[in-house]
Structure 1
Amino acid sequence: MTDLTLPTLAFPDFQPGSVWLVGAGPGDPGLLTLLALHALRQADHIVYDALVDERILDMANPAAVKEFAGKRGGRPSPAQEDISLRLVDLGRQGLRVLRLKAGDPFVFGRGGEEALALVAAGLPFRVVPGITAGLAGPAYAGIPATHRTANQAVILVTGQSAGDGPDWAALAATKAPLILYMAWRGLGGIATALMEGGLAADTAVAVICDATTPRQKVMTCTLARCAQALADSGLAPPAIIVIGAIAELHATLDWLGVASHD
C-alpha cells in the first residue's frame, strides 16, 4: 500500500504577544491552509468574523477564547476601529492573538487597516493568506475566473465603499469580467451604471450564494434583468456576483451541481 503519511512540516512559531491575520477561506473547511490550521491550534485568543464556518472554529485550540467580531451589512456591527484596538489590547496582554477572517485578510477584508494599527502599536504580526470567495465561489459554480477564449483579465471589485465607490463606467469600458463582493443591495444601480457605461444588456450574470458551503445556490440571468431576478429569487446574501462572458460557462461546467444529482 502506498504510504500517504504527510511529511513533517516546519511552521513558524506563533509567539506570545503577536497577532496573526489569518484567512479562513470562503467556507468549505477543506480549503483551509495548513498554516491557518497551525495558527488555530496554537492561538490563545481568536477574534473571528461572521462568515467563518463553525467547523473551522471547531479545529481551534480547545483552550482558546473565541470572540465574535463579525461585520454584516445593514446589521449592528462593531466599528472597525474598535476591532483594531481590541487586537492591540489583546496583543499587549502577551497572548497569541488570531484574527480569523473569512476569505483572505487582504482582499476586501480590512486586514490592511488592522495591520496598520498593529504597526502603530509596535506589535509583531503575520499575514496568513486565505482563498478568497471571489475566486473560489465562481470555481465551485463551474465559472473559471479566466478562460483563454473569454478574457485576459478579471476585476475584483467591491459593491460598497467608504468613498465615492467604483467608477462603473470605467470598469465597463475595460470589457473584463467583474467579480463583485458585497453588491447585493446595490446590484440594480450597479447594473444600470454598467449598461450606461457601454456594457451590453444581455451580458451574462451569475449570483453565487453561500459559496463553497453545502447551502450554495447559483442563479444566472442577464445584466438587464439581474436586479429583478434577484428580488424574485428568494435567495439571500452573502453572495459573489460574476458579470461577463465567463458566467456563461456555469451551464456547462457546473461540476458541483452535476455531482449532487448523480
Structure 2
Amino acid sequence: MQNQITRYDKSNLPATSIDRQIEAMKSAQIWQVEKIDLDTVLMTCVNKAFKDKGQMVIPSDMDHIVNNLIDMVLEHCPFIRIGEIPIAIEKGILGDYGDYFGLNVVTFTNFIKTHYASQNRANLAKQAIVRHDEIKEPTESEVLEQDKILLKSAFEKFKSSGRYEDHGNYLYKVAAKKLNLFELSPERQKEYLEQGKIIAIEKLKNEQIQRPNERKRISKIMDQANNLEKGSDGVKLVYKESLQIALTNWFKELIEMDAEITDLLTD
C-alpha cells in the first residue's frame, strides 16, 4: 500500500508550530549571516532531510548540494530569514509544496522559494511584527546557564564518540572567552594556527577535486589561507579549524586528568 502523507488545515496547526514560525520570522536575514554559519544551517537541514526520507548520501554529494544551495538561496531569496530555512525544508519533505522527485539542489531550492513566496509566510510576517514586543528576551544569566548546559553536553558527547563538531566555534568562545575555563599560550596559539592551516588547505584541495569548475575560486581561497590574509574567507577557514583543534585538545586534557567540566563551573 502506498504511504500517504496526512495534511492538516493550516488554521488548525498547534500553537507551538505557529510560534516557531513567528520566531523564525524574527531571525536574521540570510544576507546578514556569515557564510560559514549559513553553511552550517543548510548542512544540518539537508542532512536531516535525507535521514527523514530514509535515504543515504555520500559526503561529496552532500557538500555539492549545500554549496550550490547557498548560492541559489542567496540569489533567489536574499531576504528570507535564517530561521525559516529548516521550516521550509521540513514542509517540503512532508509534501506541503507538492510532489517532488529526489532530493537535490533544485528540489531544496524550490522548497525554500515556495515557502518564501507563500501567503502563509506573508501572514506570519505581520504577526511577527505585532508580537515582537510580547517576546521576553532571555536575561544574561539565563543565556549563561544555557551555554553551560551546551558545553557540558558537548563534552559528554566527545567522551562517548571521540569527536565534537563545534559549528561556528561557539563553544570554544563560551569555554575560553566567556567562562575563562582555559587559556592558550602564544606558543600554543601559533601551533594550532599552523595545524588549522594544514587542515583547511587539505579540505580546500579535496573541494577542488570535487568541484573542478570552481578551481580558480577555490585556489584563491587556498592562497588566502596559506598567507593568512586578514579578513579573507581563507583565513576564516583556518581560524575555524584552529579553534576546533583547541577545543578538542582541551576536552582531551580534561579526560586525561579525569576532570569534569561541571567541577570547573562555579557560581
Q: Same fold (TM over 0.5)?
A: no
More strand by share: 1
Question: TM-score range with shorter-chain normalisation?
Answer: under 0.3
TM, length-normalised to structure 2: 0.27
Which structure has the larger Rg over C-alpha atoms?
A: 2
More helix by share: 2
TM, length-normalised to structure 1: 0.28
* Higher relative contact order, structure no. (Cα contacts within 8 Å, ≥ 6 residues apart): 1
